[in-house]
Amino acid sequence: MIVMKFGGSSVGDPGRIRHVASLVAAHEGPAVVVTSAMGGTTDTLLQAGRDAEAGRLESALAAVEGLKARHDAVTPDLPTRASTAHLLDALRDLLRGVALLREQTPRSRALLASFGERLAAPLVAWAIRDAGRASEAWDARGFVRTDASYEEALVEDPISRSATRAALLPAVEGGSVPVVTGFIGSTAAGQTTLLGRGGSDYSAALLGDWLDAEAVWIWTDVDGILSADPRIVPDARPLEQVGWREAAEMSYFGAKVVHPRTMLPLMGRGTPLVIRSTFHPDRPGTTIGDGASPAPFGVKTVTVSRGMALVTVEGRGLSGLRGAARRILGAAEASDVNVVMISQASSEQAVSLVVAASAAERLVQAVSASLELEIERGLVEPPRLESGIAVLSAVGEGMAGVPGTSARLFDAMGRMGVNVRAIAQGASERSISAAIGEGDAVRAVRGVHAAFGLTRSVDLVLLGHGRVAQALLPMIEETREELRRRRRLELRIVAVATSRRCVVDADGIEPASVVSRLEEGEDRPGDGALLDRVEAIRHGPVVLVDLTAANTTALHEAALDRGFHVATANKVPLTADLASYRRMADAIRRTGARYGYETTFGAGLPLLHALRELLTTGDRIEAIEGALSGTLGFLVTRLQDGLSVGDAVREAEAAGYTEPDPREDLSGRDVARKALIIGRAVGLALEPADVVCEPLLDDLDDGLEAAIARHGTALEARVREAGERGHVLRYVATIRPDTVSVGLREVPADDPIGQLRGPDNLLVFRTARYREYPLVVRGPGAGAQVTAAGVLGDVIRAASGDG
């Protein structure tokens, strides 16, 4: 037997009730259904009661007419409508009585609220019959016995158990599906009571226990327990398996889970509690039970509770004050204030309590009264109240005994720029909580959620839409499934900006639609405004992807200051003055942001990776030299083949090898920038002017064609003369501890550099370890595809924490 409970959203209108009936009818085994009121009905009933109490009887009765129309719309069945009409007559009589007395009691409010479930049950039973299964409505007041705490009643188990079995088992054994009203019960005297918050879920759990059900299914509007609130983390994922204790912690800290009380009847007998979505019935949902599935780093969900305040008591005399914590908590109890979280400094000179904001002033007054004498003597300072607090909690059974969990949590919040006011962790180690500013809540949840691997959603901000961007966008789409499967990584483009246009979208921008979205976009705002907009919509870590050749130095600095990662193919920020370079390096150290610039020299070759490995392992760089320009490599080999300088340049442009302005290549400035980047990566304190640069062609400021006409013939002759000596010309960068230079060099044709052809790059590392046999890296050094692939690699490393 399965007990199925359907919430108010699941029975919210005629179509949903018919859908519920189809789910029940499709279940092949015996079943008992517990139903809530139609969505919004209980609120309508309670408001009608307040209207009647205030003498607004006409308004209260109008609400009843609205309920009648809504419930009659479910079925044309006359007997069912007659049952509804009878209940509504009783409801009207109750409201008239309240209006006459101008008073509501807990007993009358409980009776008033019960009408929602009592109206819904006959409709659900009719729909199940209409779907092909026998079904009847059952009023739980006939067998769920409680005490007389009308709005928070306690269930009397032995009596209720036997009465429930006697009432429902014969119906089930006869092939019928009982539809039972949730949320309500009755006293021994027959007075209606409510089971309190989560009452319908609790009703289902009780029936599951009393009827020896195989499982209890809670059908709701979500796909189970999620790893975070989907309104904060849109790609929050459902959890397949959660342990009882985990679920209780999640519920306490604000996750959308069943009330802890619901689990109590089922825990002892090990009956699984399954949370499923009526809107996606094909999905498995979440099973709460004895087992618990593993989670990355032990954390399964990240929750946040808003509307809190922090009350702090501190002072030099607090540590010597015996029973101080007891007196503070006693004051909270005496003033009827629930303490959500408590944190005490190890010095015992400060105690912080997180409470609901609505109760904070009351607590301050109570604590002030309790410690009045100590405050007067200056031993303790008056309680300090800080409003606008939220409590973030990371919860998971697997956290217990795992080193580094707290460090990961606080590192994630630090990277997101979130200040932690107070922390608390229970001895069970199933949860860690932190009090933070309410304005930081969304950013903190997203950052912590990503840090614990619950999702690896990374927001991308793309700068530029040239050849490299056009090659990168399809790569992002093509690698999407592989990244999800192998790295659990989701790359989301949330902003694209050119020098003039911009589009920002919190829901993400599909790679294939970037062009059209830019055309429909807006004028690009300033750097600060652009980053502010991204900050406001970010779901997790942000990677600024710079595919321009513009001076974006200030933008890189500002992004790094915010903790945004950067993946750049743009050499300009890395080759600005030394002070700017150092500011970026300081921001990286301060925020922990990652800066990927593999493609700024060598395109897609792992040159930076190789250099970092050498330095990290303690090797000493003696010299680095090689051909770092695929464009110039292509040009000189085509000159060897007999082409003129003009024809070779035009061919390189057509193949997409040159910079947007080919003079950047021919002047040697592009290679000089690459040499400067390598020199700085080695640790040399270089200004741009420190790089000695010999251009391939002089007088380029007068125009490309004029420079070719003036110097092209001489260059072609120089190539021929080198060939006659068995040599070739190559444009070579040399980085030594005392000098960095770039220029045209004649090398033997059989030299590793001389053997290069076309756009291939080559770099030779001569180090203390690689002196006799240098380390050589060779491969394609130009082209949009290889550059885009290198940028994507930097993005993935930044997103994964690998770079």
Q: Which active-site residues does the annotation give? A: 674
Give the C-alpha separation, 483 to 29, whole Å. Answer: 41
Distances (CA, A) of 742 to 598, 696, 748: 20, 10, 18
Paired with 273 in beta bridges are: 216, 288
Provide the β-strand partners of residue 435. 391, 422
Contact 580, 573 (CB under 8 A): yes
Contacts of 312 (CB under 8 A, 6+ apart): 350, 351, 352, 353, 383, 384, 386, 422
Which CB contacts under 8 angstroms, 24+ apart, belong to 696-699? 696/632, 696/635, 696/665, 696/666, 696/667, 696/668, 696/731, 696/744, 697/645, 697/666, 697/667
d(CA 596, CA 359): 49
Q: Could you tell me which of 120, 213, 217 has the C-alpha nearest to residue 165?
A: 213
Beta bridge partners of 492: 459
Which residues on neighbouring strands pair with residue 90, listed in sequence order? none
Token pair of 620, please? 């000493």
Q: Are 269 and 318 in contact (CB under 8 A)?
A: no
Euclidean distance between CA atoms 762 and 754, whole angstroms: 10
Residue 209 has which token pair?
């226990």
**Residue 123: how many other CB atoms lie within 10 Å:** 28
Residue 693 φ/ψ, nearest 5 degrees: -125, 120
d(CA 43, CA 115): 11
CA distance 316 to 298: 39
Strand 286-289 versus strand 241-243 pairing type: parallel
468 three-class SS: helix
Q: What is the 3-state secondary structure (H, E, C) of 98-147?
A: HHHHCCCCHHHHHHHHHHHHHHHHHHHHHHHHHCCCCEEEECHHHCCEEC
Q: Helix 57-72 crosses helix 41-53 at what angle (to 10 degrees)?
A: 160
The answer to whether the CB of 275 falls within 8 A of the CB of 283 is no
Amino acid code (one letter) for 469: A
> Distance between CA atoms of 47 and 132, rounded to whole angstroms?
37
- Give, as one character, the DSSP assignment of residue 690: G
Could you tell me how far CA 711 lies from the centroid of its own chain?
58
Q: Smallest Cα–Cα separation from 109: which of 120, 121, 97?
A: 97
Count of helices and strands (H, E) across the chain: 27, 29
Cα–Cα distances in angstroms (integers) from residue 285 to residues 29, 238, 484, in the given order: 20, 7, 20
Q: Please name the residue that has the structure tokens 């300009």.
A: 572
Whole-number CA gyration radius for the chain: 36
Cα separation, 454 vs 130, in Å, equals 43
Cβ pair 363, 311 in contact under 8 A? yes
3-state secondary structure of 192: strand
